[in-house]
Structure 1
Amino acid sequence: MLEIEKTLIHLSHCRGFRHLNFFKLLKADPTLTSIYGFSDQEIQLLFKLTDQTLPQFLQDFHSFNLQDIKAHYEEQNFHMLTLFNDTYPELLREIPDPPPILFYKGDISLLKSKKMISIVGTRNPTTYGSNALKKIVPPLVRDGWTIVSGLAKGIDALAHCAALNEKGATIGVIAGGLHHFYPKENKALFEKMSSEQLVLSEHPPNVKPQKWHFPQRNRIISGLSLGTVVMQAKEKSGSLITANTAIDQGRQVFAVPGSIFDDFSAGANQLIKQGAYLAEDGSDIINDLFLQV
């Protein structure tokens, strides 16, 4: 392991660590060695820590033991992949704010695929949404695409399950750490994917999910993928945040149309008005992206 990776792992386990502030440090010092000579006040300024959070950061900073952490993670079958590792996914590396470190459990070789597509949507899908997935996912899996989603209730979970049912590959990106999976009703799916597929988080395993983690992880879902498919999303929803993030990342956005009388289709229909590619079948997505793979 490179020394710069060890420093990143060290910092990522300090409460108050923020990836955007980390990139400021990296730009000023590409070796990351200067942090060990900083005063408490310089650390507070760099990571924008309050007087209340500074002692927490410093406690973690001065008590960290890499060997102990690695031994604990090995027992749990948890692993770490940093931005400085050659196996870090290239598509994710291209986004403006890639996670400096990924914590994962499962088959890391799934990240080698160039054919990744993310699928997001409502947490309360109707029969229409469930049936639409049956037209979207199977053709993609048969063509070798890996399904990426957030392991959330609703469309996320259904997309993962559809990929599993087709004997395909699927990746879950969660908010919070691997020790604190949410929501509980998808715990069995999380366990299955952790052992047979791949689950990722940008937070250390002991971090409990916070509200701000969910929109933040959306950039990883879209960042891993050549395109993002939105189905059954209201006009103001997390799915549209993911779609807009994908657009900002220069990725294709697909939307599955729905009834004009259904609030759950309003967001997807709006995306189509704004130029998203209308997807009625998985083959629509395959045909649009074939030149990129």
Structure 2
Amino acid sequence: MLNSLQEILSFHYVYPLTLNKFQLLMKSIESTRNLVETSPAKLAKILSISTINADNILLKYKQVLKINLMDVYNSSSVRAIPFNSKFYPESLLDLIDPPTVLYAKGDISLLQEPRKIAIIGSRKATNYSSLALEYIVPPLVEQNVVIVSGLAKGADSLAHRATIQYGGKTIAVLGHGFSHLYPRENKELASEIEGNHLLLSEYPPYVGVQKWQFPMRNRIISGISNAIVVTEASLKSGTLITTEHALEHGKDIFVVPGPILKEQSKGTNSLLREGAIPIWDGYQIIEELKLF
């Protein structure tokens, strides 16, 4: 039995499961159409949650099901992209826990561009990252590479801005829903990306900012990208979570070497010791990935 888009979006709105857990649920009940008849006890057992929680989920699901979410999303310029959509990046299906639905604002055709490279780094990135991006970004833009990052302070913001400055296209992956913005100082940048590039999230618009959601976001940054570039990162940087995801899936990690006494270079220099590829301009990346 097929799952309807309305049913998928309604359940995801109420309880945004990752795809592996959603498929586990579907394996047990066969179709989203059977959700309304599923007992709280059965749902609780399948999802390993309390019966009270399951009862609450089913109650809210039946309420949301009456609302045309596609109309609601369209009125807010939000495009919902479920796992079975042609716009859903196939590379995400290689993750252990792919998102069931992606929410997009902007140019969703960027998801289908074959060449995407993530540029990430420390939230406390220094002018060293800015200088490095002057050499790294222009050659990538020349080759129509889409630059992916996370709209965070520091290196992420610098990567998005450099890409826009040099006339390229960028995707910002958020760790929350579109009704919120973090950090707030990136409001103008987010607006620019929404208008001419792409904002992406796995969370329904109402979902607020939670610390644990940002490491989850990192797997999507890695998942939709062909390779990762790290400008600056300390030893305890969240950036290293993204590189771990990338390494697990056999993707190249390119690193800008940094001064040995600098805190923001300890993480990047550690990555070099572990086998990451040192770079100091974008042409090296293109040559390494044979993008010509």
User: RMSD over aligned Cα, in angstroms?
Assistant: 1.9
- C-alpha displacement of 1:199: 0.4
Could you tell me which residue of structure 2 aligns to residue 5 of structure 1? 5
Matched, 1:233 2:233: yes
Secondary structure of 2:49's counterpart equals coil
Secondary structure of 1:218's counterpart equals helix
Could you tell me which residue of structure 2 aligns to residue 54 of structure 1? 54
Q: Is the 8 A contact 1:125 1:155 kept in 2?
A: yes
For 1:94-243, what aligned pairs fall within 5 Å after superposition?
94-243=94-243
- The amino acid across from 1:47 in the alignment is L
- C-alpha displacement of 1:125: 1.2
Cα distance, 1:34–1:55 mapped onto 2, change above 3 Å: closer
Could you tell me which residue of structure 1 aligns to residue 264 of structure 2? 264
Q: Is the 8 A contact 2:17 2:100 kept in 1?
A: no
- C-alpha displacement of 1:10: 1.9
- C-alpha displacement of 1:34: 4.0
Secondary structure of 1:13's counterpart equals helix
CA offsets per residue over residues 247-275 of structure 1, 9 Å max, x none?
11221111111011011011111111111
Q: Is the 8 A contact 1:255 1:268 kept in 2?
A: yes
CA offsets per residue over residues 7-46 of structure 1, 9 Å max, x none?
3212101146444421322455664444343210111222
Q: Is the 8 A contact 1:13 1:60 kept in 2?
A: no
Q: Is the 8 A contact 1:5 1:84 kept in 2?
A: no
- TM-score normalized by the length of structure 2: 0.93
Q: Is the 8 A contact 1:16 1:57 kept in 2?
A: no
Q: Is the 8 A contact 2:18 2:99 kept in 1?
A: no
Q: Is the 8 A contact 1:14 1:56 kept in 2?
A: no
- TM-score normalized by the length of structure 1: 0.93
Could you tell me which residue of structure 2 aligns to residue 25 of structure 1? 25
Could you tell me which residue of structure 2 aligns to residue 74 of structure 1? 74
Secondary structure of 2:81's counterpart equals strand
Aligned length in residues: 291
Could you tell me which residue of structure 1 aligns to residue 86 of structure 2? 86
Distance in 1, matches of 2:93 and 2:66, equals 25
Q: Is the 8 A contact 2:174 2:199 kept in 1?
A: yes
Q: Is the 8 A contact 2:147 2:170 kept in 1?
A: yes
- The amino acid across from 1:287 in the alignment is E
Secondary structure of 2:175's counterpart equals coil
Cα distance, 1:66–1:124 mapped onto 2, change above 3 Å: farther
Cα distance, 1:132–1:163 mapped onto 2, change above 3 Å: same
Distance in 2, matches of 1:185 and 1:48, equals 39
Q: Which blocks of at least 5 consecutive residues in structure 1 are unaligned?
A: none
Distance in 2, matches of 1:121 and 1:170, equals 16
- The amino acid across from 1:167 in the alignment is G
- C-alpha displacement of 1:49: 2.6
Secondary structure of 2:229's counterpart equals strand
Distance in 2, matches of 1:136 and 1:91, equals 24
CA offsets per residue over residues 190-213 of structure 1, 9 Å max, x none?
111111110010010011121111
CA offsets per residue over residues 88-129 of structure 1, 9 Å max, x none?
122223333221110110001111111100011011111111
- The amino acid across from 1:113 in the alignment is E
Structure 1 range deviating more: 257-266 or 8-17: 8-17
Cα distance, 1:18–1:48 mapped onto 2, change above 3 Å: farther
Cα distance, 1:230–1:29 mapped onto 2, change above 3 Å: farther
Q: Is the 8 A contact 2:18 2:97 kept in 1?
A: no
Secondary structure of 1:161's counterpart equals helix
- The amino acid across from 2:220 in the alignment is I
Q: Is the 8 A contact 1:153 1:183 kept in 2?
A: yes
Structure 1 range deviating more: 31-40 or 230-239: 31-40
